[in-house]
């Protein structure tokens, strides 16, 4: 029996899919593939990787490496999957994929040194059976090496001279599991070079999916990048652990020490280890994958995998188009119409609209960079924002005021908090509210309200069995989301 631990790398921000993907709600948690399942890319990745088990492969609990800020998004989406057993390894800041895999290897190494199957959370695959078979072949390649010095990767059969991917150069002859020895890696090429790779036949796209033993990764990292190994292990030794579980749901949270985590060098798996293996004692082998893979790296890729009509258009939401071709139109909150357009990307959300040439959709990153430079909130959050206790929707704002619609789930509670720069009025429109307002604890029902002065300690809770909904009116000189001082919090944010 071969012990395998699935690993999902879920730390990306997906800036090229703005305005749908944002820092606070990145692309892996979006429903984008158009396969009709209604599942996010993250949920698809969880189910896809857990399908590789068979009578000879025993799967352990899935390890998910994600950002601390996204843990409740991951938790909510995991709850929608049946029979979930997972451990969330929470990064306090993004340090790229090499530290992320190191966390997973450190977590897994005590369990009989399993084989790690490592995939990103933000890709799509059309042929799931071919994907499963390719990963099982990778597992067989790694399991056959008793020296624990083999790393297997998936190479994607190229379908075009793509300049947005790195390439794997393989030997021409295959082994017994249809694996190829990797001779080297090449960076994203120019169009002319990419065409020669396609004609050559021995160059494949690098998918960012790896299969290797936990001990192999740790040993190779210690050899090639001891600084990453040492810094990550230091943060790991001082980790904190807590559990969320019931009869159908079992999730553990592991938090490496925040005070050490930020000092870990930021580097990718490829640059830190994989590309350094050539000429070393470690062998990298590749299994080819031809399964309709796409990493959805830009809106053009979303158009490619979407369900196209007779004119090549892909639509989502309340849309109405005429005399248009080869375009993607996505509506989130209102009717979006298009007339006489071709090769366009049109994406509408409640607070932002993107219109782009489909061939230049990669350049959306420049808009995101400008939003960041100007410190605009549209980079980070949608108008409607999910929180562990429910959600809020910013419905209006002006000079010195902001209006929010807030829903609190049954039995949930916001943190005990205060604000330095704003006061708040709360009006209950549905349900029952238990409100801490300074030294008082009061209960309000529909049409009742309270006022919370600037600097006053307060908390909002829902003691009922139905959702609580309130209207919050903020007033003050600064109304940013970072003006929250949390004193107590059941979600570990204080």
Per the DSSP assignment, residues forming a β-bridge with 136 are none
Domain CATH for 165: 3.90.550.10
Domain check: are 328 and 197 in the same one?
A: no
What torsion do the CA atoms of 338, 341, 347, 349 make, to the nearest 10 degrees?
A: -30
Domain check: are 132 and 259 in the same one?
A: yes
The reply to whether 294 falls in a domain is no
Q: For residues 113 and 308, what is the distance between their CA atoms, to the nearest angstrom?
A: 45
Domain check: are 220 and 139 in the same one?
A: yes
The reply to whether 193 falls in a domain is yes
Last residue in a domain, options 289, 314, 330: 289
Cβ contact 9:97 at 8 Å: yes
Domain check: are 424 and 361 in the same one?
A: no
Q: What is the pLDDT along the chain (494 residues), one digit of tens a residue?
A: 899 999 999 988 778 999 999 999 999 999 986 666 789 999 999 999 999 999 999 999 999 999 998 988 998 899 888 877 899 999 999 999 999 999 999 999 876 899 999 999 999 999 999 999 999 999 999 999 999 999 999 999 999 998 889 999 999 887 887 899 999 999 899 999 999 999 998 999 999 999 999 999 999 999 999 999 999 999 999 999 887 655 556 788 999 999 999 999 999 999 999 999 978 999 999 999 999 999 898 999 999 999 999 999 999 999 999 999 999 999 999 999 999 999 999 999 999 999 999 999 999 999 999 999 999 989 998 999 888 899 999 999 999 999 999 999 999 999 999 999 999 999 999 999 999 999 999 999 999 999 999 999 999 999 999 999 999 999 999 998 889 999 998 887 76
The reply to whether 295 falls in a domain is no
Domain check: are 19 and 103 in the same one?
A: yes
Give the distance, in angstroms, between the CA of residue 244 and the centroid of all CA atoms in the same chain: 20
Classify residue 462 by its DSSP letter.
-
99 phi, psi to nearest 5 deg: -60, -35
Domain CATH for 409: 2.60.120.10
Last residue in a domain, options 254, 289, 324: 289
The reply to whether 406 falls in a domain is yes
Domain check: are 63 and 201 in the same one?
A: yes
Domain check: are 41 and 130 in the same one?
A: yes
Burial of 14 (0-12, 13-18, 19+ CB in 10 A): buried
Last residue in a domain, options 289, 310, 332: 289
The reply to whether 375 falls in a domain is no
Domain check: are 128 and 28 in the same one?
A: yes
Cβ contact 418:398 at 8 Å: no
Give the distance, in angstroms, between the CA of residue 174 and the centroid of all CA atoms in the same chain: 34
Q: For residues 167 and 264, what is the distance between their CA atoms, to the nearest angstrom?
A: 27
pLDDT one-digit tens code per residue, 302-338: 999 999 999 999 999 999 999 999 999 999 999 999 9
Domain check: are 111 and 255 in the same one?
A: yes
User: The domain containing residue 398 runs over which residues?
Assistant: 384-488
CB atoms within 10 A of CB 58: 12
The reply to whether 493 falls in a domain is no
- The tally of CA atoms less than 13 A away on the side-chain side of residue 123 is 22
Total structural domains within the chain:
3
The reply to whether 31 falls in a domain is yes
Where are the alpha helices (H) located in 144-225, listed in sequence order?
191-200, 214-224
Domain check: are 66 and 147 in the same one?
A: yes
Q: For residues 335 and 314, what is the distance between their CA atoms, to the nearest angstrom?
A: 15
pLDDT one-digit tens code per residue, 60-79: 999 999 999 898 899 889 98
Residue closest to 18 by CA, chosen among 338, 313, 302, 402: 302
Cβ contact 353:339 at 8 Å: no
Q: For residues 220 and 275, what is the distance between their CA atoms, to the nearest angstrom?
A: 11
Q: For residues 249 and 76, what is the distance between their CA atoms, to the nearest angstrom?
A: 11
What torsion do the CA atoms of 432, 438, 441, 445 make, to the nearest 10 degrees?
A: -20
Q: For residues 288 and 167, what is the distance between their CA atoms, to the nearest angstrom?
A: 12
Q: For residues 262 and 93, what is the distance between their CA atoms, to the nearest angstrom?
A: 7
Residue 486, classed as helix, strand or coil, is strand
Cβ contact 285:155 at 8 Å: no
Cis peptide before 19 (omega within 30 of 0): yes
Tokens of 314: 């892909």
Domain check: are 363 and 305 in the same one?
A: yes
Tokens 């306090």 locate to 92
433-437 β-sheet, strand order = 440-444, 433-437, 458-461, 416-418, 485-488
The reply to whether 494 falls in a domain is no
Per the DSSP assignment, residues forming a β-bridge with 425 are 451, 473
Domain check: are 114 and 54 in the same one?
A: yes
């Amino acid at each position: 029996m071969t012990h395998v631990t699935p690993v999902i790398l879920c730390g990306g921000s997906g800036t090229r899919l703005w305005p749908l993907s944002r820092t606070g709600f990145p692309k892996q948690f979006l429903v984008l593939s158009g396969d009709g399942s209604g599942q996010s890319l993250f949920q698809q990745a969880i189910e896809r990787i857990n399908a590789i088990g068979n009578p000879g492969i025993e799967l352990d609990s899935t390890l998910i490496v994600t950002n601390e800020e996204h843990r409740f998004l991951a938790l909510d989406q995991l709850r929608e999957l049946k029979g979930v057993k997972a451990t969330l390894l929470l990064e306090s800041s993004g340090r790229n994929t090499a530290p992320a895999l190191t966390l997973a290897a450190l977590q897994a190494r005590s369990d009989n040194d399993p084989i790690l199957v490592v995939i990103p959370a933000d890709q799509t695959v059309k042929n799931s059976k071919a994907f499963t078979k390719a990963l099982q072949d990778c597992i067989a390649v790694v399991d056959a090496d008793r020296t624990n010095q083999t790393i297997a990767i998936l190479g994607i059969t190229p379908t075009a001279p793509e300049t947005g991917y790195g390439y794997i150069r393989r030997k021409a002859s295959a082994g017994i599991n249809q694996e190829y020895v990797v001779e080297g890696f090449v960076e994203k090429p120019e169009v002319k070079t990419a065409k020669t790779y396609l004609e050559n036949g021995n160059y494949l796209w690098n998918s960012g999916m790896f299969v290797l033993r936990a001990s192999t990764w740790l040993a190779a990292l210690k050899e090639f990048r001891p600084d990453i190994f040492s810094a990550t292990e230091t943060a790991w030794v001082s980790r904190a652990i807590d559990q969320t579980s019931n009869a159908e749901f079992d999730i553990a949270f592991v938090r490496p020490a925040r005070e050490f985590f930020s000092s870990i060098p930021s580097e990718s798996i490829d640059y830190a280890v994989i590309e350094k293996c050539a000429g070393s004692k470690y062998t990298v082998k590749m299994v080819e994958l031809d399964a309709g893979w796409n990493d959805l790296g830009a809106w053009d890729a979303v158009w490619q995998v979407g369900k196209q009509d007779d004119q090549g258009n892909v639509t989502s939401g309340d849309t109405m188009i005429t005399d248009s071709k080869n375009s993607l139109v996505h509506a989130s909150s209102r009717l979006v119409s298009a007339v006489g357009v071709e090769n366009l990307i049109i994406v509408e959300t409640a607070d932002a609209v993107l219109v782009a040439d489909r061939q230049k959709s990669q350049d959306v990153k420049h808009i995101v960079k400008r939003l960041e430079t100007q410190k605009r909130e549209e980079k980070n959050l949608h108008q409607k924002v999910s929180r562990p206790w429910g959600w809020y929707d910013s419905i209006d704002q002006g000079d010195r005021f902001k209006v929010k619609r807030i829903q609190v789930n049954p039995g949930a509670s916001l943190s005990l908090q205060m604000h330095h720069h704003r006061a708040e009025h709360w009006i209950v429109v549905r349900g029952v509210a238990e409100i801490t307002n300074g030294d008082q604890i009061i209960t309000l029902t529909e049409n009742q309200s309270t006022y919370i002065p600037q600097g006053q300690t307060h908390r909002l809770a829902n003691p009922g069995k139905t959702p609580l909904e309130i209207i919050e009116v903020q007033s003050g000189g600064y109304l940013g989301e970072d003006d929250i001082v949390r004193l107590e919090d059941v979600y570990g944010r204080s």
